[in-house]
Structure 1
Amino acid sequence: MSFFSRLFLLLVLAATGSRAVAQSVAFTKDNFSDNKEGLREAMRELKDGETEYGADPARYAQALPHYLAAQQFNPNNAGLNVKIGDCYLHSTSKTAALPYLQKAAKLDATADARTHYLLARALHLNAKWREAIAEYQLAHPVGGNTRNGSAEALTANDLQRYIQQCRNGQQLMARPTRVFIDNAGPELNSSDSDYGPVVSADESTILITSRRAGSTGGKADPEGNGYFEDIYQANWQGKKWSRATNLGAPVNTGDHNATVGLAPDGQRMLVYVGTNGGDLLEANLGGSAWGKPKQLGSRINSRSHETSASYSPDGRFLYFVSDRAEGGLGGSDIYKVELESRNAPVNLGSAINTAYGEEGVFMAPDGKTMYFSSEGHNSMGGYDIFKSVFENGKWSTPENLGWPINTPDDDVFFVTSASGRHGYYSSDRPGGLGAKDIYRITFLGPEKQPVLSEEDQLLASRLAPMKQTVLAPAVAVATAQVTILKGTVTDDATKQPLEASIDLIDNTNGQTIANFRSNSTSGRYLVSLPSGTNYGIVVRQDGYLFHSENFDLPAGAAYAEVVKDIPLKRLEVGTTIVLRNIFFDTGKAALRPESTAELERLQKLLTDTPALKLEMSGHTDDVGEAAKNQDLSQRRAQAVVAYLTQHGIAAARLTAAGYGETRPVAPNTSKASRQLNRRTEFKVTAK
């Protein structure tokens, strides 16, 4: 044979071999005549995989290792690669499906009617928007029961919806949100799934749900997703979280127990328990131990599925998610209910709820900003996190939090600190410590001009990390319009912590907005005060004189955190109490209407303690003439006495004294200190 003949034959064989590699290889004796034992073992793995995959419902997690074992023997079977990709798409590692489905399409795109669709889903989940759209356009609707045990169906509307999600993703990715997204670290995260973070308003306490080993019931999830869910708690230690510890009984049981919501002060917790299809319960913190969760009642828990909830900052309302059919708009919807009333829950309506699912509701401490996840609106895929603000009697158009906070996969259970500076949620981003990890989001502001060049250290995403140097423009941080008041209630004499009742009052109408209690062991308390109200704060405990504080927060007042320790004084002769919610106009002695609630408390104290006698005293700062200040303070003290006598208190039990500027409690050197000196007090003269 000549050289050219031999060359021609080699080229033909090479081409034939190339075509063979690019074609699907069946599991037959003809294809593997030289390894019959390996073929028999691969066929056993295939059979076991088919049993799990063909179950109703399909057991993807159990099928996957069998399929992977068979694929090691024969990596070039298109149908097998499709099924491996499908299993990964139903796991917590969805993005791992892509190489298998790409290979299946290359080997034989007709081997499975769903190949183009499944490949499109894998491309979509990897944020390869353009390629995903192309594959979605090649896919065709598929009816249900297309494979053993499967009831999945794909409609033309589904395909168009996925294409629109990809277009949403392209738009959102072109305008990324400027954030740092940092893994919360091994203190919170494990090698298993960790998710559902909830934080106290001051970001001092976090609770999470975990499927890690060591669960209370010790049960493994039959679907292969780790152990049954348990709740863990950690505390902020200045620079990082303490190591999360299992709450144990009675919060955690042998069933699924998951975090749902946490009151701003961290004293009440909403818990999901996997009974009756899933119910919401409430646990209270008694000292340092959580009590047994209690049912929230049939208005909230129905025969349907209730999965997440959030308190309003004042604790009066509960926002929760339910898939109940009655009053629903499609999928799971968000409802609002007043806890102390008998009124039925109210669906938040079409401004929030869509024909698809809503999930993970969280009401921010400002009382008007709601975060939630939705499969509708302009989601880029799965559930995206949205924000809406309730103003002028309606909810604003939900705003997508954007890339890279949201991804093409499910992004759910987002919460924020009261400052709005940090957010927490779970994700299965590359480089994590487990299947799902807790991440901390830092919203960037103009005081930081970050250079996003540190790859994974700065910005996590499903794409390759950014390697070019990009100077982030100044971004204004949306400062929360809320004040956090916190501190410790103690006995003034012994300095020991006290459990006390804390009333939050709207001074404009005298109504009690909410009631809280300080912790029975530590005496700690926390109250969230949305801007736009003149608040009266009253702390009381049996055997002690009440203590009052005033916070007049105009609309638009920026975030602030105020630490105020409150020593309660016992009712003893000589004890002096400042009445911080008695108000007068400048230079006048007429009581303003906002004083009514405080005066009524003083009246009740005198009525409940018949032998009690008080000296009412007025005080001023040093601005103006001393004689005029003396006269003004006397008239103001007399105005309080006059109110009390007009409301049934005997005049013999009351005296009025004006001290003008002679008894300052702070130097008259600033506006704040002068405000402290302008005060009304009472002193116990007999009891």
Structure 2
Amino acid sequence: MKIMASGRSLFGWFIFSAMLFYHKNAYSQERLINRGIKYFERGNYATALAHFESNSDSIVMSNELVHYMSQSYLELHQPQKAKELIEKLSQMDEANTYNLIRANYQLEDFSSAMNLVNQSHHLDDPAFRNLKNKIGNTMEHYDNKKGYIVQNFGSKVNSTHREYSSVIFNHYNTLLFTSRKDSTKKSDIDGLSFETIYKTTIDSNNNWTLPKALATDLVKDKRHDATVQIFSNGKKMISYHDGKLYSSFLKDNVWQIESEFNFHNQLASDTHCFITTDEKTIYFASDFQSTRMDLDLYMSHMLEDGKWSEPEPLSELNTDYDEDSPFLADDGTFYFSSRGHNSIGGYDIFRSSFNEENGSWSKPINLGYPINSVGEDTYYSVHGKVGYLTSSRLGGYGSLDLYRLFLFNKVKIEGHVASKNGQIPLANVEIDLEYDSLFIRSYTDINGNYSLYMPINKEMHVTFIKDSLDIHEDDYIVNVSFKDQNNNEFNFFIGANDSEPKAIANLNTHPKVKEINIDIKNDFEENPFIAVVPNTRESYWVDSLNLVYEKSSYSQNKSHEMNSIVKVLYFDYDQYELSNSNQKLLDSLCESSLVYNNVSSVHILGHTDSRGGSRYNQQLSWQRANAVYEYILDKKILINNFLVKGVGAKKPIMKGDNEASHSENRRVEITFHQYEQKNEL
């Protein structure tokens, strides 16, 4: 009995201790969650998440807590984490449905986002209606992607933290930027490190060096120091320090404070500005006249006494949302970022111009995708044909990254193809260039010279064919540097005399990509050596076939498709030779008025059935398309622009593993595009 009593007493003590621990632990968790909510309400999402995540493995996730956490992830540009968290809920409430739509939207999964909106039964809510409109607007921008190249600055410059507000100078070799790297335990009210200015330069290998904190006499602990502008030929700098803008000059490799910009006498935050070359006009962003603490754009002029005039709001550009980061380019175009004007992300970049005659600003124009994205896109500057921006878009290293932007995507490469020792020019060499799903062909002339528009920053597989034999093939990539003059020459030296040419090879990728380095003159003038081909016209871009080296009319943005006429040829299994019936059909096409009736291009797409491997089908489909192209070429019709491409078995017109379906899918589609010329603004 004593033993039993002792056992019961011990068991009772254990239960009491466990309950006490549970209540203490539950109380501790509740306190942490409540603290997290308080940080969330202050906009300190990083610290709020730290409190929420410390309990996520030991408590049941309520809809309310998931809402706080997912909202924090979204504000910190971590949509994948938000989506994964919300999808664990057994039942969705309205707030988490909205956040799940936002998460899919930020992940650029627009179809899923739109489906969720339409299925949510909350379209009577203005927030859901606005989000649906934003998704639709964004899908249009993404479908009409402009022909620009956006490059991340890389891991040397960007980190998992925030990098933004790039300032480039010294012939594009020196970069200043702002970062909130986690290099100190001290942090601001939002839970992130204070802003620090960093500097990096390009080394002899054309790479950015490891960034170092900039030496300035304004830098102090627990304060913000951010980049704004370098001016006066690199001798002066404007920087931001805790709500105010300052001018500094360089002395003994240290930036010394010169003066504070005093535009008004109100307690406010002046976040960013741009001063003109003559230093007599300044555009700046501030919340000093706002009752909602949103930023607006203002302009001020230098008076004779050296003071700045009363700021004038740029009323045509300001909205009820934030406007920031003004920049005036050398060609007179004014750029700024805004959360208004029907932006597709958070901040978008817009352009406008000032009309001297009526004294007003033109309607802001969204720069579109890929300059703008579903993320935050801001701090834009442009210098000739290269731009710089800050973005939280997908594919970056952290919340905000620095990017460089090429305002074109094709470069005209000229040169000659010769034997390895360069002594013997190789005439009538077929140059086949493949990238993504596109195929472009060119030829050398009697002197071995060629001219070909190539995509920049894309891996290309290039094959050289002479007399139906493959004499060389390799992978290449075009790199562009910006100089004072164009240097677009690149010569291919092929060891055709060293050994016998081998039979045409199948499509293989090579582990080492060779570089084609080209210099482009950087100014605001038109350059005949570059082209801008938007996404909607990429498949039409055939710049050099039949020894035609001029740019296609599609690159001029002056043509609109009126009509497309499609003819189809069918092939036997595993065959690409033209049958007698196919030859007769092609003869009738080439002899008809169709090919002379305002036809600007002919697209020849080869297809296969689903049998066989993907690589084999890809090659067979191209052989079918090429057989048609070669036959038409022999007829010497007056059409200069062709697109010849094999798409394998990717686009069947009939589904099913039977002969009826296979015979319909073994085909070549010939599309005659007719265009009329129209002027576009």
Which of the numbers 207, 212, 222 marks the counterpart of 1:245?
Answer: 212
Task: Tell me how far 1:245 sits from its aligned partner.
Answer: 1.6
Go from structure 1 to structure 2 and tell me whether the alpha carbon gap of 1:118 and 1:157 turns closer, same or farther (over 3 Å shift). same
Go from structure 1 to structure 2 and tell me whether the alpha carbon gap of 1:219 and 1:59 turns closer, same or farther (over 3 Å shift): closer
3-state DSSP class of the match of 1:406? coil
SS of 2:85's equivalent in the other structure is helix
State which of 63, 84, 89 in structure 2 corresponds to 1:99.
84
1:648 matched to which residue of 2?
Answer: none
Question: Whole-Å Cα distance in 2 between the matches of residues 35 and 126 of structure 1?
Answer: 44
Structure-2 change in CA distance of 1:292 and 1:84 (3 Å): same
Measured after TM superposition, the shift of residue 201 of structure 1 is 7.3
Partner AA of 1:415 in structure 2: S
Alignment-derived partner of residue 100 in structure 2: 119
Q: Say whether 1:402 aligns with 2:362.
A: no
Question: Does the CA-based 8 Å contact 1:50-1:63 persist in structure 2?
Answer: no
Give the superposition deviation at 1:41.
5.2
Task: Tell me, yes or no, if structure 1 residue 292 matches structure 2 residue 257.
Answer: yes
Q: Are 1:279 and 2:244 an aligned pair?
A: yes
RMSD: 4.2
Aligned counterpart for 1:68 among listed residues 50, 53, 59 = 53
Q: CA deviation at 1:444?
A: 2.0
Secondary structure of the 2:320 match is: coil
Candidates 75, 79, 83, aligned match of 1:90: 75
Query: What 5-or-longer segments of structure 2 have no aligned partner?
Result: 1-17, 414-432, 438-454, 461-481, 486-521, 529-681
| Conservation of the 8 A alpha-carbon contact between 2:217 and 2:254 | no
Does residue 235 of the first structure (1) align with residue 216 of the second (2)?
Answer: no
The equivalent of 1:510 in structure 2 is none
CA distance in 1, matches of 2:272, 2:25: 46
- Do the aligned partners of residues 558 and 130 (structure 1) sit closer, same or farther apart at CA in structure 2, a change above 3 Å counting? closer
* 1:210-609 superposed matches below 5 A: 210-214=179-183, 219-225=186-192, 227-237=193-203, 239-254=206-221, 255-263=223-231, 265-274=233-242, 278-286=243-251, 288-292=253-257, 294-299=259-264, 302-325=266-289, 331-341=294-304, 342-350=308-316, 352-366=317-331, 368-391=332-355, 393=357, 394-416=360-382, 418-419=383-384, 421-447=385-411, 453=436
**Map of 1:144-155 to 2, 5 A cutoff?**
none
Give the equivalent residue in structure 1 for 2:149: 180
Matches of 2:121 and 2:401 in 1, distance apart?
35
Q: Give the Å deviation of 1:63.
A: 3.0
Contact 1:179/1:444 (<8 A) preserved = yes
Q: Give the drift of 1:85.
A: 0.9
> Whole-Å Cα distance in 2 between the matches of residues 452 and 359 of structure 1?
39
- How far has the Cα of 1:407 moved from its partner? 1.6
Distance 1:530 1:189, change over 3 A: closer
* Number of aligned positions between the proteins: 412
Identity %: 26
CA distance in 1, matches of 2:401, 2:526: 35
Does structure 2 retain, via aligned residues, the 8 Å contact 1:179–1:459? no
Structure showing the higher strand proportion among its residues = 2
Distance of 1:279 and 1:389 partners within structure 2:
27
Once the two structures are TM-superposed, the CA of residue 179 in structure 1 deviates from its matched residue by 2.6
Q: Distance in 1 between matches of 2:101 and 2:263?
A: 43
Residue 51 of structure 1 is aligned with which of 15, 20, 35? 35
Q: Partners in 1 of 2:38 and 2:163 — Cα distance?
A: 29
Counterpart amino acid of 1:168?
A: N
Task: Kindly state the Cα deviation for residue 430 of structure 1 after the two structures are TM-superposed.
Answer: 4.3
How far is 1:134 from its partner? 4.8
Counterpart code for 2:235: Q
Match of 1:414, SS state, is: strand
Q: Which structure: larger Rg?
A: 1
Give per-residue Cα distances to partners, 1:171-212, cap 9 Å, x unaligned.
100011223222212332234321111122732322101112
1:318 is displaced (CA, Å) by 0.9
Long gaps (5+) in structure 1:
1-33, 142-153, 468-479, 485-528, 532-555, 560-687
- Do the aligned residues in 2 keep the contact of 1:189 with 1:433 (CA within 8 Å)? yes
Given the two structures, how large is their TM-score scaled by the length of structure 1? 0.53
- Judging changes above 3 Å, is the alpha-carbon distance between structure 1 residues 235 and 196 closer, same or farther for their aligned structure 2 residues? same
Tell me the CA shift for residue 135 of structure 1: 4.3
Kindly state the Cα deviation for residue 335 of structure 1 after the two structures are TM-superposed: 1.2
Q: 1:179 and 1:273, CA in 2 relative to 1: closer, same or farther beyond 3 A?
A: same
